[in-house]
Chain A
Amino acid sequence: AQSVTQLGSHVSVSEGALVLLRCNYSSSVPPYLFWYVQYPNQGLQLLLKYTSAATLVKGINGFEAEFKKSETSFHLTKPSAHMSDAAEYFCAVSEYNAGNMLTFGGGTRLMVKP
C-alpha cells in the first residue's frame, strides 16, 4: 500500500522567507501527486497537482512543487511567505491505474511570523 510522509507537523517561517514543506511518497510506479491547503474551519482547496507532464508544477498563491522521481519527493515551495499563507497543508497521492482514491499525508501546519 502506498504511503505519504510529510516531514514536520509544524513549520514556522518569518514573513518574506522561503517556504519549504516536504512530502515523500512510496509508490512502485510514478503516481499522481497533489497539494491541498486548509484554512481554519474550512475545507481543503487544491493548490496544485502533478500528472506526469512537467516535473515543476506551478499552483495558486505563488506556490510550486517539483516532482523528483529519484527521491520519491514532491516538496512544496514558495519564495516569499506572506501572513495569509498560514494554514495547514496536505500532500496526497493516487496511483496510476489504481482507482481515484487519494492517500493523504498527516499534514503540516505552516505558521508565519511577522
Chain B
Amino acid sequence: DGGITQSPKYLFRKEGQNVTLSCEQNLNHDAMYWYRQDPGQGLRLIYYSQIVNDFQKGDIAEGYSVSREKKESFPLTVTSAQKNPTAFYLCASSRDRESYGYTFGSGTRLTVV
C-alpha cells in the first residue's frame, strides 16, 4: 500500500545536538511538507518542496534545514539553533493538483532534554 512514513515515532535528544527526522513517501507525489505542532497552536509550516532539488521556507524555518535529493524523501534536520525544538512534527505530501489535499505521516514526537 502506498503511504508516507515518518521515523522514528519518538525521539529523545540532548540539548545542543542536531537531529534528523525521516520522511519517506511511495505515493509518487511531487510536493512534500514539514509542519510543527505544539499544544493549542495548530499546524505551523516549517519547509516545503514542490519539486526535487528545490525547497522553500515556511513560516517558522529558523533553526531547521531540509534537503530534497530524491522525490521520495524529505528529511528535516532540527539544529542546535532551534531554541525550543520539543514538539510533534508532521510530514505531508501532495500531488500537483489543488483538489487532492495532503496525505500525512503519523508524526515524530521530539523531546529535547
Contact = CB atoms under 8 A, between A and B. Distances in A.
Interface stretch (A45-53, A56-64, A72-80): A45-53
Contact of B104 (A9, A44, A98, A99): A44
Contacts of A95: 98
A36 B103 CA distance: 10
B95 interface: yes
B104 A49 contact: no
Given A100-B94, A100-B95, A100-B96, A49 B101 contact: yes
B107 A90 contact: no
A104 B42 contact: yes
B90 interface: yes
Nearest to A35: B101
A5 B34 CA distance: 22
Q: Which of A32, A51, A95, A101 has the most CB of B within 10 A?
A: A101
Interface residues of A, number: 27
Contacts, number: 60
A42 B98 contact: no
B48 interface: yes
B98 to A, nearest CB: 4
B99 A9 contact: no
Which secondary structure dominates chain A's binding surface? loop
Contact of A32 (B6, B96, B99): B99
Nearest to A97: B98
B70 interface: no
A42 B43 contact: no
Contact of B42 (A43, A96, A107): A107
B99 to A, nearest CB: 4
Top 8 nearest A-B pairs (CB, nearest first) are A43-B104, A94-B98, A106-B42, A44-B104, A51-B99, A43-B106, A34-B101, A107-B42
Interface of A: 9, 32, 34, 36, 41-46, 49, 51, 90, 92, 94-102, 104-107
17 contacts: A9-B40, A41-B107, A41-B109, A43-B6, A43-B104, A43-B105, A44-B92, A51-B99, A90-B42, A90-B43, A92-B101, A97-B98, A99-B50, A100-B97, A105-B42, A106-B41, A107-B42
